[in-house]
């Protein structure tokens, strides 16, 4: 019998689930993907902020399954595009767009933007909810630049085109352990872990 406490991650994105579980392990929590449950209601991400979407996911799933849940909404904010793609990051090139289609659209839009103006950040907001409880919100950001072309095979989403000047690498070129030191999700998670440690 596992002594880990279980929390449902309101996502079917296996990349996110793996990332969460690498961070959760040391705090004694296990994140379970929505893919492990049947007939879970689809949560429409219609909020105008990452926080609104994260809360909606967490509350819906926690209420439906009667378990603690974490909702995650995250995305890329590009300064030259006035913060786009933002909450539309996962569907920037269309409703069922692949990661590559999304970042290719971004690179196309950024084609004429000079290096000095290619600043961007990944932002992640997490909402942790126990059934009937108030959501606990944490967030984190990771600053970088939009590269001119992709590189690397790790990660997911916009990682291949997100350049980290301090590391002189794209996010997708980092080993998972390196990414977990600096990513927006890792930063939001570290804050949330403080909360989870108190949920003994």
Q: Is 89 annotated as a binding residue?
A: no
Cα separation, 112 vs 81, in Å, equals 12
Find out whether 156 is annotated in a ligand binding site: yes
- Cis amide leading into 110 (omega within 30): no
On whether 14 is known to bind a ligand per the annotation, the reply is yes
Q: Is 24 annotated as a binding residue?
A: no
Q: Is 140 annotated as a binding residue?
A: no
Task: Name the DSSP letter for residue 198.
Answer: T
- Residue 154 assigned as binding residue: no
Instruction: Determine whether the annotation assigns residue 157 to a binding site.
Output: yes
- Cα-to-chain-centroid distance, residue 196: 18
Q: Give me the active site residues, please.
A: 73
> Which DSSP letter does residue 85 get?
B
What is the per-residue DSSP string for 130-151? -TTSPPEEEEEEEEEEE-SS--
Q: Where in 46-118 does DSSP place strands (E)? A: 69-78
125 annotated binding-site participant: no
- Cross-sheet strand order for the sheet of 69-78: 29-33, 5-9, 69-78, 119-129, 136-146, 162-164, 169-170
Q: Is 148 annotated as a binding residue?
A: no
State yes or no: 184 annotated in a binding site. yes
State how far the Cα of 46 lies from the Cα of 72, in Å rounded to an integer: 14
16 is an annotated ligand-binding site residue: yes
Distance (Å) of CA 100 to CA 6, 16, 89: 32, 17, 12
State the binding site.
11-16, 73-74, 156-159, 179, 184-185
State the binding site for Mg(2+).
73
């Amino acid at each position: 019998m596992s002594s880990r406490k279980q929390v449902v991650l309101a996502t079917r994105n296996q990349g996110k689930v793996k990332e969460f579980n690498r961070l959760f392990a040391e705090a004694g929590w296990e994140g379970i993907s929505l893919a492990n449950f049947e007939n879970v209601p689809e949560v429409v991400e219609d909020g105008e902020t990452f926080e609104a979407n994260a809360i909606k996911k967490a509350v819906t799933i926690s209420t439906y399954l009667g378990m603690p849940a974490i909702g995650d909404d995250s995305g890329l904010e590009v300064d030259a595009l006035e913060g786009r793609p933002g909450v539309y990051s996962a569907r920037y090139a269309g409703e069922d767009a692949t990661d590559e289609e999304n970042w290719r659209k971004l690179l196309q839009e950024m084609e004429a933007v000079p290096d000095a103006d290619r600043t961007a950040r990944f932002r992640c907001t997490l909402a942790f909810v126990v059934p009937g409880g108030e959501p606990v919100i944490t967030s984190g950001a990771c600053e970088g630049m939009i590269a001119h072309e992709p590189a690397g095979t790790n990660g997911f989403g916009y990682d291949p085109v997100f350049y980290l000047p301090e590391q002189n690498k794209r996010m997708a070129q980092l080993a998972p352990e390196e990414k977990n030191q600096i990513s927006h999700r890792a930063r939001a998670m570290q804050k949330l872990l403080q909360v989870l440690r108190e949920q003994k």
